[in-house]
Amino acid sequence: MIQQPFTIRSKKWLLRMKRRQRNNFGTLNIDVSLLECMPNTWRDGSRTSLPNKYVSFYVEYDCNYSLEQIMIIDGEELKSDPVSVMTRIQMFLKVDPMIDYSKQIRFNTKKGFFCPVSLPSNSTKCLGKGKGRKYPDMMEETEKFLREYYMPGNVALSKLLTKLRQPIPIWLEQDLSHQEI
């Protein structure tokens, strides 16, 4: 599963800072944290801020698996349309009989994501209150900095997906279009 690296990393960074400071999101400034603190963390090899490593992971998988055994999934699409993605995964894995996920999960407007349907009540049962939290918006300067930081890995990922004849995720197309501006 691939996801936009700077979005994931900024959320993980916020959670890490929250735990360290025993603070809440309202008083954490993601822009100050990312622009001033993260470069030091990058040097110490923290997993929170490593550059996009999707291509190196693929190279490792390619040594052990054939292309027909590898399925690349867009994490954003999985969040927004899990029924379609799960159907494609089952087809890829040749699952029989296939599970109809349109009956198994439903969008929960309160949480803001899809949750399992509990039977027989036919209501959704979502993960705990820590899941689906809202994050503060990033300043344009911070977003630009992170887009540039992850750009080399994203360019390599785009080339790899094109070579493998895999679809380019929308988030990746958008990130690459920022490079040309």
Beta bridge partners of 2: 74
CA–CA distance, 82 with 62 (Å, rounded to integer): 26
CA–CA distance, 178 with 115 (Å, rounded to integer): 33
- Which amino acid is residue 41, in one-letter code? T
The domain spanning residue 120 has which CATH number? Answer: 3.40.50.300
What would the DSSP string read from start to end of 139-170?
PHHHHHHHHHHHHHHHHHHHHHHHHTTPPPPH
| pLDDT for residue 102 | 93
- Counting the structural domains of the chain, the total is 1
- pTM of the full structure: 0.70
pLDDT band at 90 (very low <50, low <70, confident <90, very high): very high
Range of the structural domain that residue 110 is part of: 5-180
pLDDT band at 51 (very low <50, low <70, confident <90, very high): low
Beta bridge partners of 58: none
